[in-house]
Structure formats: C-alpha cells, structure tokens
A and B are shown apart, each in its own frame.
Chain A
Amino acid sequence: MKFDIKKLLSNQLVIPFAAIIILCLVNLGYDIVKDASFFSIEVVTNNSGNSVFSGPLITILDYGSELAILAIGMTLVTAASGGQDISVGATIAIAGSAMLRVLCGGNTRPEVLATPIIVGFLVACIVGMLCGAFNGMLVAIFRIQPMIATLILFTAGRSIAAWINNNELPIVPDPKFAYFGSFIPGVPIPTTVFIAAACIITAALLLKFTNLGLYTQAVGINESSSRLNGINPTAIKFISFIILGLCVAVAALIKVSRLSTINYSVIAKDIEMDAILAVALGGNALSGGKFNLWASILGAYIIQFLTTTLYRFKVDSAALPAYKAIVVILLVVFSSPVVRQKMQQFSSSRAAAKKEVA
C-alpha cells in the first residue's frame, strides 16, 4: 500500500482540512487545560421562550453563515474575472438600507410594517443585483481591474446607504423579521444555518445542471480561447457579479435581521476581506480559473472558527485582523511557486529514497 503524499498535497482541500484539524486540536488542548467543553452542545430556553441549541459549534455555524453565502459569489467572481469584489460590505449596507426603507416606509419608528417582509427582501435582491451589475459592467465591459472597479462602491456605498434612509436609523417593529437572524419558534437550529444551506444547495444545483461552472473556469483560464470556443466572456463575468449581488442581498437580510436595525458605517465592516480570505483558504487561485466552491464555503466557516477560537482565548478583538493577516501570509507562502517546487522536490526525493531501500 503506497501512501502518495504528492497526490495528497496537490489536493485543493488539503489546506482547509488541515486548518480545521489544527483549530480543533488547539481547542481540544484548551479544553483539557482549562477543563472547558468546546464541543458540547446544550439546549437552553431563549428569551422568546423557545428551546434552542447553544454552544461554540452552533455559534460558528450561526455567525459563519453570511460569510459562507458571500463566499459562493466571491468564488465565482474570482474565477471568472481573476480579481475580487471589495465592495460587498458597502453593498450589504446599501441592500440592507433599501430593505429597511421599504419595510418601514420611510418612517424611522413605524408601528407596523409598511410592506410584507418578502417585498422588502425582493427589493434588497434587486438593489444587490443592480450594484453587482454596476460592478460587472465596469469589469466586463470597460475591462477595469475588479479591485479598482469595486473600489468605487467600496468608497461611496456607505454614504449611499445613509442617503437612502435620509440618515435615519429605522427600527423594524415586527418580531417576525428578527427570525431570519435568530430562531424560528419551535426550531432549535439558528435560521441562518438554513438560509446558508439553501444558498449552498441552490449554487450546487446551478453548477451541476448548467454549464456555468465550466464556462466560468474557461473564461478565467484563458479568455480569448474561450471566446474562440463560442463562450461570451463578457456575459460570464457579468453574470458572476450579478450572482454575487444576490448573495450580498441574502447576507444583508441576515445582518439587518440580527439587530432589526442598521448602522451604515459599521454593518458588515471588513467582511469583503473575510470573503476573499475564504476563497484563498479554500485553495482557489485568486488569479482566477479553476475553482472549488465547497472549499471556499469550508474556508468561510474556518474563518469564523478562527474568530470564535480567538475570542475564546480572550485575544484582543482589535488584534483579530492581525491573526487573519498571519493566515494570509502563510497561505501565500505555501502556495508560492518556490515553496511548491521545493515541496515537490522533497517528496520525490523521499520517494526515490524509499525505492532504493526497497
């Protein structure tokens, strides 16, 4: 039986799984030392009188949802355009603001909802897709570098969000609206988990039953040859940004629902960096081309796992970005051509040594 380390190392999922194992071990070690229980899940009664699951693992699944949803869109954008959208945090603010504007009918403190929640959500979807279309237009048609193109909404987005609601911070009165960010009565699992699952399944079906995945990779690997093969690169890039816009709208629903209000300047702050990191953690090339959606989604939950673990260790929350930066540095180093080559040399020389012994 031959253990093929070369094949294992070349698998894309090796990085995310290694990260999960390391994080689990770190937490297990902490449990043993401090006599805590990271992996226990218990049932508590929340303040609305429902029995719900509670525990660090539930926290990770709950708070990782928005990121997982964004990672879907970000993976497609990265694969198709070879660049990243850095405006998702700001567009979450815009979509969330539009949703509140519709739900509250321009009133800061309404007694009842002006429109049903579904209408508000659909408006958010349209607004999210419009923002995506704007970015997509700049990237696909005007061929602007994605990070530069999305810098526009990154800078202006939060002002636009403030303007939509006339600088007021509306509060949604309906307790049903809070279900999307917490729990539905009678269901012990956070609603966000179901929303994320629905998005992931939809994306999986989309990739399985359409050629979108193949076309996206083709455009990302070589735009001109894919054009020669009858694929329209402009359309594919455009579509990837629109899908990201839709993901943004869903993430905005969760974010706004968590607190039933919005704060334009801080909602989903820095989430774009986490989303890009999720794609990178999944072992996807940030320069586009081949991608693995599952690895990105796994990457998103790993980031939340890391955040939860760091909070558990009482790491200063202001220092969290520094830890994430360390992860980025490690990823970049390990995926750099120089290190890859060295590792391949190492494993092949080991294989050769084994052969000699045999």
Chain B
Amino acid sequence: MKKRTIALLSAAIMTFSMAACGGNTGATTTTTSSSSSSSSSSSSAASSSSSSSSASTDTGAGSADTGAAAASGELIRVGIINNDPNESGYRTANVKDLQDMFKPENGYDAQFAYSLKNDEQIQAAQGFITDEVDYLLLSAADTAGWDGVLKDAQAAGIKVILFDRTIDADPSLYEASIVSDMAKEGETAVNWLAGQGLDEYNVIHIQGVMGSAAQQGRSGALDAKAAAEANWNIVEQQTAEWNAEKAQQIVQSVIDSKTPFNVIYAENDDMAKGAVAALDAAGISHGVGKDVIVMGFDCNKWALEELLAQNWNYDGQCNPFQASYIDQIIKTLESGATIDEKTIIMDEKGFDAETITQQDVDDYGI
C-alpha cells in the first residue's frame, strides 16, 4: 500500500515539475504563438486542442480555376501551412486574415494545412511540393527540421515565404520572413509610459511564460528603462504565465503588503484583466486620470473596449495580419523584382485610452 502511495506521489511531483516548465499557449495567450522557441508551447497547445491537431489539408479553394479569375487569367497557386486556428485568439485572427486574402477574387488558388506538430507540417509541405504549388507560405510549429523539405522546394522551383515565426534554416532557402518585433512592442509601450510624465514610476511587472519571445521582448524594454532611470522602480516582477488568475493573486499580494505602486505593466491582456480584478476588490482606482495606470498587450477586442471606457490606459498590438505583406511580396516577385531585405518587421501600434476610437476597436481588435 505504502509503495503505491509513494509511486503515486512521485508521479504527482513529476507532473508538478512538468507543469512548471511546460510553456503555455491557449485560448487567448496570443503572444506565445509568435514565439520562435515554440517547442514547449507547441506541445502543450497540442494537448489543449488535440482534437483538431491532425494535419488537415483543406482544398476548399482548390477548384478555383473556374472562379472569377484575376485580370491575368492565371491564378497563383499557394500552399499555406499554419498552426491550428484553435491555438489562440491571435491564430484565429491570423488564419481568417490569410483566408480572406488568398482567394480566387484576389488571383490566388490556395490550399491550407493546419497543424501544431512539426512533422505533420513537414508532411503537408511535401504534399504541396508534389502538387507543384508556386509559393509555399509557412508558419512553422518548431524552428528546427525544415532544411530538407525547403531544399526540395527550392529544387522544384517553389518559393518559400515565412510568416509569424522564423526557423533555423539558411536564409537562402526562403524569399522573405514576416515577423513581429517583440522588443519593439516593448519599447513602444515603455516610451508611451515615459511620456506620461509621472514623478515616480512604481511598476508591478507581470510577465508571460519565461523565455518566450513575447516575454523577452516586452520585459527587456522595461528592465532597461528601470535600470537607467532613478525614478523608475519595479516594485514587483513576477511571471503569471499568461494566466489571469495568477496575475490577480500576484497583484493581491502586493496590495496586501501595502507597497505603493502606480503602474501595472502586464505582458498580455488576460493578465491585465486579472490585475484589474484585484485592484477593484481593494478599491484602487485605475484608468485615465486615476491612481494606477494599466497596460496590456495583444489588442483583444474586449481589452480595447476597456481602453475605450478609459478603465485601462494602454494596449500594445501584436499584429496577426500578415496577409497583405505576403501579397505584396508575391506581387513583387511575380513582376520579376527581387526582395532586398529578407526579414520584414510588421508595423505594430500602441493604443492610448485617450485617443482610441471605436473605429480602432473594430479594425484592430482580435
């Protein structure tokens, strides 16, 4: 009996430690989705939506030869390999954006394959190569393992464009890579905060899953600023792992300790929401012209609505809309020109509660 007890407990401990290092992506953890170190995040995301993680090749738009063809009359055939749309709000918006762009009306004949598993994505890529598509668009689940299949693509004369995530492969194997610059997102936010002209910045810094690209970029800017300025103090720096409940408890503990603070810098919208719940319970006012400045990231629609209601102060964008960039690159390549700069960083905005409009919420909310 006792032996069994110990066995069970050691199993429990193992699960603990697994939980501790397992990265987390999920329904609204939009930021990890663009992390390049996605080995851990993809595994946990796979388990959270395993029902739909098989690589399904959707050829719905495949019969488009008869469709309303573009002016050239000849449709450009693209194979799009993406992560599962159920992965996060970010991914859902990303997939929808691509589907809206790559359709016969815009001159494309597109096939889609979705998977959170690298090997299934590679299989899908081989399928597309056999199908002789013109372009292969890729948001890889994992950074490694793509050299072989990309060389096959090159040999077959298929041009590869990476979006959202980079891979560990020779740049000669792809035409362009369209990514978010997380460090710039952080800088934009920190510059905005510096522009608020507070006498003293006492910041509660709630971080995402440690080591993810989004966390590193968004933390880096704030850490640098706090180290450089004498009146910037980080009163609490904790990871809530994109989790609203954890963020709520962390802020609650700061409130209980009676440490004064006037800024909440949460690295995604969910955690900002959790932090605000703790502020509300303790009767601390927040928002435009109030005691505490609340900052979030990702531009979820509900978060932008909080900005519009002036309950929050700032929300930084993590842009999921890469389709127009890809479209431009393909048009450039089709016209015979070459792409000079392989890595293309997308424009990303930061919204201020004082200037945001309903139009912004509708346009940029995901």
A318 touches B20 (CB 8 A): yes
Give the docked Cα–Cα distance between A52 and B281 (Å): 8
Which of B8-16, B177-185, B220-228 lies at the interface with chain A? B8-16
Known contacts A147-B11, A263-B244; A286/B5 CB under 8 A: yes
Residue A329 interfacial (CB < 8 Å): yes
A329 touches B86 (CB 8 A): no
Per-residue CB contact flags for chain B residues 94-114 toward chain A (1 = under 8 Å, else 0) read 000000000000000000000
CB distance from A32 to the nearest CB of B (A): 15
Residue A174 interfacial (CB < 8 Å): no
Residue B341 interfacial (CB < 8 Å): no
Taking CB atoms, residues of chain B closer than 8 Å to A163 are 51
Taking CB atoms, residues of chain A closer than 8 Å to B13 are 325, 328-329
Which of A42-50, A227-235, A236-244, A348-356 lies at the interface with chain B? A42-50
B48 touches A158 (CB 8 A): yes
B5 touches A287 (CB 8 A): yes
Taking CB atoms, residues of chain A closer than 8 Å to B152 are none
Residue B28 interfacial (CB < 8 Å): yes
B12 touches A328 (CB 8 A): yes
Partner of A321, one of B20, B85, B242: B20
Taking CB atoms, residues of chain A closer than 8 Å to B47 are 155, 158
Taking CB atoms, residues of chain B closer than 8 Å to A255 are 245
CB distance from B212 to the nearest CB of A (A): 12
Give the docked Cα–Cα distance between A61 and B116 (Å): 40
B27 touches A84 (CB 8 A): no
Taking CB atoms, residues of chain B closer than 8 Å to A277 are 12
B270 touches A263 (CB 8 A): yes
Give the docked Cα–Cα distance between A206 and B348 (Å): 58
Which of A1-9, A112-120, A195-203, A267-275 lies at the interface with chain B? A267-275
Within 8 A of A (CB), among B127-157: none
Residue A344 interfacial (CB < 8 Å): no
B249 touches A311 (CB 8 A): yes
Residue B344 interfacial (CB < 8 Å): no
Which of B161-169, B250-258, B316-324 lies at the interface with chain A? B250-258
Partner of A276, one of B12, B26, B44, B250: B12
Give the docked Cα–Cα distance between A160 and B15 (Å): 21
Residue B325 interfacial (CB < 8 Å): no
Per-residue CB contact flags for chain A residues 30-57 toward chain B (1 = under 8 Å, else 0) read 0000001000000011111000101110
Q: Find the residue from B50, B245, B281 having the highest chain A CB count within 10 A.
A: B281
Which of B69-77, B271-279, B327-335 lies at the interface with chain A? B271-279
Residue B295 interfacial (CB < 8 Å): no
CB distance from A23 to the nearest CB of B (A): 15
B49 touches A270 (CB 8 A): no
Within 8 A of B (CB), among A245-269: 255, 258-259, 261, 263-269
Partner of A169, one of B51, B89, B240, B258: B89
Taking CB atoms, residues of chain A closer than 8 Å to B252 are 59, 63
B238 touches A265 (CB 8 A): no
A46 touches B248 (CB 8 A): no
Least CB separation from B13: chain A residue:
A325
Residue A322 interfacial (CB < 8 Å): yes
B28 touches A83 (CB 8 A): no
A266 touches B15 (CB 8 A): no
B5 touches A332 (CB 8 A): yes
Residue A212 interfacial (CB < 8 Å): no
CB distance from A71 to the nearest CB of B (A): 15
Taking CB atoms, residues of chain A closer than 8 Å to B244 are 259, 263, 266
Taking CB atoms, residues of chain B closer than 8 Å to A312 are 253, 256-257
Main DSSP-derived SS at the B contact region: helix
CB distance from A122 to the nearest CB of B (A): 24
Partner of A266, one of B51, B239, B241: B241
Give the docked Cα–Cα distance between A322 and B21 (Å): 11
Give the docked Cα–Cα distance between A158 and B50 (Å): 9
Per-residue CB contact flags for chain A residues 294-331 toward chain B (1 = under 8 Å, else 0) read 00000000000001100110101111011011001101
CB distance from A288 to the nearest CB of B (A): 8
Known contacts A169-B27, A312-B256; A46/B283 CB under 8 A: yes
Taking CB atoms, residues of chain B closer than 8 Å to A63 are 249, 252
Give the docked Cα–Cα distance between A276 and B15 (Å): 12
Residue A130 interfacial (CB < 8 Å): no
Residue B282 interfacial (CB < 8 Å): yes
Known contacts A258-B248, A265-B26, A317-B250; A47/B16 CB under 8 A: no
Give the docked Cα–Cα distance between A158 and B252 (Å): 27
Partner of B250, one of A44, A55, A311, A322: A311
Give the docked Cα–Cα distance between A91 and B259 (Å): 37
A332 touches B6 (CB 8 A): yes
Least CB separation from B255: chain A residue:
A54
Give the docked Cα–Cα distance between A332 and B279 (Å): 39
Residue B19 interfacial (CB < 8 Å): yes
CB distance from B265 to the nearest CB of A (A): 16
Least CB separation from B240: chain A residue:
A317
Taking CB atoms, residues of chain B closer than 8 Å to A55 are 256
Give the docked Cα–Cα distance between A196 and B302 (Å): 31
Residue B280 interfacial (CB < 8 Å): yes
Per-residue CB contact flags for chain B residues 337-361 toward chain A (1 = under 8 Å, else 0) read 0000000000000000000000000
Known contacts A48-B280, A169-B28, A325-B13; A311/B239 CB under 8 A: no
Residue A162 interfacial (CB < 8 Å): yes
Residue A291 interfacial (CB < 8 Å): no
Partner of A162, one of B44, B48, B274, B302: B48
CB distance from A8 to the nearest CB of B (A): 22
CB distance from A12 to the nearest CB of B (A): 15
Give the docked Cα–Cα distance between A350 and B85 (Å): 68
Taking CB atoms, residues of chain B closer than 8 Å to A169 are 27-28, 89
A280 touches B277 (CB 8 A): no
A162 touches B19 (CB 8 A): no
Residue A292 interfacial (CB < 8 Å): no
Give the docked Cα–Cα distance between A185 and B248 (Å): 21
10 closest residue pairs by CB, A with B: A265-B26, A311-B253, A47-B280, A266-B243, A287-B1, A46-B283, A321-B16, A321-B20, A159-B51, A56-B256
**Other A-B pairs, 5, CB within 8 Å; known A261-B302, A314-B236, A332-B6:** A47-B280, A48-B280, A182-B280, A266-B24, A325-B16
18 contacts between A and B (CB under 8 A): A45-B283, A46-B280, A47-B283, A59-B252, A167-B92, A169-B89, A258-B277, A259-B244, A265-B24, A265-B26, A266-B26, A273-B15, A280-B9, A308-B249, A316-B238, A317-B239, A325-B13, A332-B6
